[in-house]
Structure formats: C-alpha cells, structure tokens
C-alpha cells in the first residue's frame, strides 16, 4: 500500500513539474513586445457609450489600455511605457525624436522582439513614415490607433491593439518596415493614408494596396514594400535634437506666393508643394519658386491628388529650375523625407536620389 502511495505521489510530483515546465516553456516561447503610448483616440474617453465623435483623446494611460485587453498576456509578454499623452494633431518633432530614440534603444535589446506604438489616427501615417526612415532594426514596429474611443460600443481599439501586439511579435513582420495595422489590415508606413474623417476602415493604401490581413490571431502577408526602410536607411537621428523646418504649400486655382514667402521668412529650408494634378506649378508661382531657389531653399513638387507618380520634367522643367519631385510620396510624407534629407545634404541631385530610394 505504502509503495503505491509513494509511487502515486512521485508521479503527481513529476506531472506537476512537467506542467510547470510546459507553462514556463510556453511563457518562454511568447514574444516580448513593448507598447509605447503617445495618446490619441485609442486612449480616448467619451461621455457616453454612443459618443463616437466629440470625445476626448489621450486620457487613458498605457497600463490601463493593457489591462483593458487581458488577452494580450496570452499572445505575448507585454509591458508599456508612456512616451507622450497627446491628440496626434498636436504631434511634434520633439516627440518624434524621443520616440525614435526609445524605439532604437528597445530594439537593440535582446529581450525585446517588437514594438507597438499607440497613436492618434490623424497623423499616424506621418509618425509611421518618420520611423520607417530612422528605425535601425529589422524587428517589427507596428503603429496602431482606433477610430472610436475606449468607452464606445464596439470600440475598435482593443482588437486593434491585440492584433498589433500579435503582429509586432510575429516572425512574418520581421524586415517588412514600419507597419500600420487597424481594421484587420496591414499597411506599409510609406503608402498608407487616412481617407475618411471618422469610419473604422479609414486607412487605405491608394491603388498599390495594403500588405495583408490580420486574421485568426496571425498575420497573412501578400505583398512587400519595394523601397528601402528601417535598418537599410542612411538616416540617423540618434544625435539630433531638432529637425530642419520644411513647410507644405497647398496648390489651388488662383493661388499666390504669400504662403510660400511667409514659410521661407519663418526659416523653412525646404518647401513641398502639394500641387494640383501631376504636381503642376501655377505660372504666377514661378517667381516665388525662383526666389526660393536663389536663397538655397529646396522645392519639392508633390501632388494634392493622392495617388500616382509625380515625374521629373512633366508639369515643370525640373532640370532647368533645379527642383526635386516626390515620386509617389504625398505631400505630408514628402515633407518628412525632405526634413531628414536636409540633415545630410542640400544637393538637389542627392535629394532626388533619396526620393527614388525610400
Ligand atoms: N484627435 C485625433 C488624434 O488624436 C483623434 C483621431 C484618432 O485618434 O482616431 O489623432
């Protein structure tokens, strides 16, 4: 009797040890993901559960957002840091530089497999592209937001955050550049843009399409970006505390030079024109552009249209006027690449190479 009892005890102990080991093994297998919070609607709260506009963004701290999605702990070893707490229309170069430096510090650590950045959707595409150009790692970086506040019926924040953590911890996302993932879709930072003021399917990649889907707790990729990004870029912000001023001048019928002159007087080293059509420049704007070039201000022709290539010597004599074209980058993305380009050179041929590279 005693012998069987001892045998039972020892096998129970073995079972418990094995279960303990398997739980430890499962934990060890979970990716380590750090969530860097900056604010936005995903951290927003509304007066009632049906408030989906007119709520307050940037209210919940990162630990509260993580606690609101207990399923996160099943898919990754997650911890959070609060980098900022702002509505993203108020994003600044200072927050960008702080975020970029922290992302690079974390991704250099062996015990970090990926980073998620929670962010307001208004400028998510700009922050994502900025990071696409300055993150020095192939590890996944996923920028995520939501279109409904955390207090709303069918809030999209929790599922977007859950999917973003899975994506950031996945092997499939390694080497894909910075990703923007909401609404079960995966977009490349270079091309994604907000296309609707308030619906949950607002993020699109016009014409070129998104990279894949988040479905059934895993990423499904069907495309990759063809442009250099993250570990392959030439830009380094580790020692920068500011960025060159670059402004955007919106093109429209009957425009004049007042806005461009004011931007240059305020210290702009570069101007991106969100031109009509194929980045066309109004005849009455050419004197302002020639004056800008004489002052050494770089002028990039982009377009307000939203998709397609702005090609050299199409709607303007770029060679003769010594201008740069944005290729397929929209004006807000072209501004970011020009800001970083100007930290390295004012040579228009070198800058044009960058617009054909990234
Ligand atoms: N204020 C906007 C922002 O923080 C709200 C939009 C959102 O985050 O969905 O970008």
* 84 in contact with ligand 1, CB cutoff 6 A: no
Quick check: helix, strand or coil at residue 59?
A: coil
Rounded to the nearest whole angstrom, what is the distance from the C-alpha of residue 171 to the centroid of ligand 1?
30
Q: How much is the CA Rg of the chain, to the nearest whole Å?
A: 24
How would you write the pLDDT of the chain (358 residues) with one tens digit per residue?
Answer: 566 656 665 666 666 565 566 656 656 689 999 999 999 988 877 777 777 777 777 778 999 999 999 999 999 999 999 999 999 999 999 999 999 999 999 999 999 999 999 999 999 999 999 999 999 999 999 999 999 988 888 899 999 999 999 999 999 999 999 999 999 999 999 999 999 999 999 999 999 999 999 999 999 999 999 999 999 999 999 999 999 999 999 999 999 999 999 999 999 999 999 999 999 999 999 999 999 999 999 999 999 999 999 999 988 999 999 999 999 999 999 999 999 999 999 999 999 999 999 9
Quick check: helix, strand or coil at residue 23?
A: helix
DSSP string over 125-181:
HHHHHHHHHH---SS-EEEE--SS-TTSTT-SHHHHHHHHHHHHT-STTTTS-SEEE
Could you give the C-alpha distances from 102 to 28, 118, 161, 192, 284, in angstroms and in order?
24, 14, 20, 23, 45
Fold of 30-232: Rossmann fold (3.40.50)
The whole-angstrom separation of Cα 297 and Cα 284 is 18
* 142 in contact with ligand 1, CB cutoff 6 A: no
Pocket residue to mutate for ligand 1, from 59, 87, 156, most atoms within 8 A of Cβ? 87
Residue 303 counted as an annotated binding residue: no
* 145 in contact with ligand 1, CB cutoff 6 A: yes
Pocket residue to mutate for ligand 1, from 57, 92, 194, most atoms within 8 A of Cβ? 57
Could you give the C-alpha distances from 156 to 70, 150, 180, in angstroms and in order?
15, 8, 14
Rounded to the nearest whole angstrom, what is the distance from the C-alpha of residue 5 to the centroid of ligand 1?
64
pLDDT given at position 72: 97
Q: Is-contact 70 25, C-beta < 8 A? A: no
Rounded to the nearest whole angstrom, what is the distance from the C-alpha of residue 202 to the centroid of ligand 1?
12
pTM: 0.92
Nearest of 172, 169, 176 to residue 135 by alpha carbon: 176
For atom 1 of ligand 1, which residue has the closest CA? 87
Residue 122 counted as an annotated binding residue: yes
Question: Residue ranges of the domains in the chain?
Answer: 30-232, 246-357
Known catalytic residues are 41, 121
Pocket residue to mutate for ligand 1, from 121, 182, 198, most atoms within 8 A of Cβ? 121
pLDDT given at position 12: 61
* 328 in contact with ligand 1, CB cutoff 6 A: no
Residue 345 counted as an annotated binding residue: no
Could you give the C-alpha distances from 260 to 13, 27, 207, 247, 249, in angstroms and in order?
77, 56, 31, 8, 6
Determine the CATH number of domain 246-357.
3.40.50.40
Rounded to the nearest whole angstrom, what is the distance from the C-alpha of residue 77 to the centroid of ligand 1?
27
pLDDT given at position 47: 72
Per-residue pLDDT reduced to its tens digit, 289-319: 999 999 999 999 999 999 999 999 988 999 9
* 88 in contact with ligand 1, CB cutoff 6 A: yes
Same fold, 30-232 and 246-357: yes
Q: Is-contact 169 218, C-beta < 8 A? A: no
Joined tokens for residue 223: 């495309």
* 41 in contact with ligand 1, CB cutoff 6 A: yes
Nearest of 272, 289, 270 to residue 333 by alpha carbon: 272
Handedness of CA 326, 331, 334, 335 (dihedral sign): positive
* 46 in contact with ligand 1, CB cutoff 6 A: no
Handedness of CA 86, 93, 209, 162 (dihedral sign): negative
pLDDT given at position 291: 98
Rounded to the nearest whole angstrom, what is the distance from the C-alpha of residue 297 to the centroid of ligand 1?
32
């Amino acid at each position: 009797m005693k012998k069987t009892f001892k045998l039972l005890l020892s096998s129970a102990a073995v079972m418990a040890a094995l279960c303990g080991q398997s739980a430890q093994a499962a934990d060890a297998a979970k990716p380590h993901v750090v969530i860097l919070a900056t604010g936005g609607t995903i951290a927003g709260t509304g007066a009632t559960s049906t408030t989906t506009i007119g709520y307050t963004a940037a209210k919940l701290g990162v630990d509260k957002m993580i606690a609101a999605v207990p399923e996160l702990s099943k898919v990754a070893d997650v911890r959070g840091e609060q980098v900022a707490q702002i509505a993203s229309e108020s994003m600044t170069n200072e927050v960008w530089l702080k975020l970029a430096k922290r992302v690079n510090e974390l991704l250099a650590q062996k015990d970090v497999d990926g980073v998620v950045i929670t962010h307001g959707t208004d400028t998510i595409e700009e922050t994502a592209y900025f990071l696409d150009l300055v993150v020095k790692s192939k590890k996944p970086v996923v920028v995520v937001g939501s279109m409904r506040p955390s207090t709303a019926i069918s809030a999209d924040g929790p599922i977007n955050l859950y999917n973003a953590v899975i994506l950031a911890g996945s092997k499939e996302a390694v080497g894909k550049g910075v990703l923007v993932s909401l609404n079960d879709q995966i977009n490349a930072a270079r091309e994604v843009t907000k296309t609707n003021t308030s619906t949950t399917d607002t993020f699109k990649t016009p014409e070129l399409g998104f990279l894949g889907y988040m479905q059934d707790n895993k990423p499904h990729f069907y495309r990759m970006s063809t442009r250099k990004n993250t570990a392959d870029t030439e830009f380094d912000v580790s020692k920068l505390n500011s960025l060159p001023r670059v402004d955007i001048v919106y093109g429209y019928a009957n425009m004049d030079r007042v806005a461009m002159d004011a931007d240059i007087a305020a210290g702009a080293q570069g101007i991106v024109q969100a031109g009509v059509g194929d980045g066309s420049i109004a005849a009455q704007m050419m004197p302002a552009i020639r004056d800008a070039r004489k002052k050494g201000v770089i002028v990039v022709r982009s377009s307000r249209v939203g998709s397609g290539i702005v090609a050299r010597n199409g709607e303007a004599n770029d060679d003769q006027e010594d201008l740069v074209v944005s290729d397929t980058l929209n004006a807000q993305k072209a501004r970011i690449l020009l800001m970083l380009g100007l930290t390295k050179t004012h040579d228009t041929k070198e800058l044009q190479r960058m617009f054909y590279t990234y």
